[in-house]
């Protein structure tokens, strides 16, 4: 039983050490949208043919209480923001794994 606990502690340590750097983590989802300018004769906005202008990027964040914060993201910052959003999801996976180990650890420690 002690070995099992040592094993879990080791696994937990390993995960915590290998966790990707959380510094850039950014919650939310990055969405893109095309915009119509409504200027007559604009070839980008022609009905059925044109796709509109853009894409423009928006970071959409659930802030709780059914509220959503939307932050427009300039194209120049889009790759950085996309990476932050990916990192956030990645870190969550690591935390879930660590949490699973801690659940097992709790069960093992209760046995002693």
Summarize as ranges the residues that interact with Zn ion (CB under 5 A).
Answer: 37, 42, 44-45
CB of 51 to Zn ion, least distance (A): 10
CB of 50 to Zn ion, least distance (A): 7
Q: Closer to Zn ion by CB, 29 or 32: give it.
A: 32
| Of residues 53 and 96, the one with the C-beta less far from Zn ion | 53
The whole-angstrom separation of Cα 55 and Cα 66 is 26
Task: Retrieve residue 71's tokens.
Answer: 């932050």
90's tokens: 């990645």
Shortest CB 17 distance to Zn ion, Å: 52
Tell me the C-alpha distance between 80 and 83, whole Å: 5
Closest Cα partner for 33 from 86, 80, 78?
78
The total number of residues written for the chain in this structure: 112
Nearest-approach distance from CB 75 to Zn ion, in angstroms: 17
Nearer to Zn ion, 42 or 77 (CB): 42
Q: Taking Cα atoms as reference points, which of 65, 97, 71, 102 lies closest to residue 84? A: 71
Taking the least distance from each CB to Zn ion, the nearer of 4 and 53 is 53
């Amino acid at each position: 039983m002690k070995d099992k606990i040592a094993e879990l502690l080791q696994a937990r340590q390993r995960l915590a050490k290998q966790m990707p750097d959380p510094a850039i983590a950014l919650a939310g989802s990055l969405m893109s949208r095309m915009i119509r300018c409504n200027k007559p004769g604009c070839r980008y906005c022609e009905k059925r043919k044109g796709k509109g202008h853009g894409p423009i990027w928006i970071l959409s964040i659930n802030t709780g209480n059914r509220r959503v914060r939307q932050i427009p993201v300039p194209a120049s910052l889009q790759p950085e923001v996309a990476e932050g959003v990916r990192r956030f999801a990645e870190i969550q996976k690591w935390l879930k794994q660590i949490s699973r180990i801690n659940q097992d650890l709790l069960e093992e420690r209760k046995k002693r």
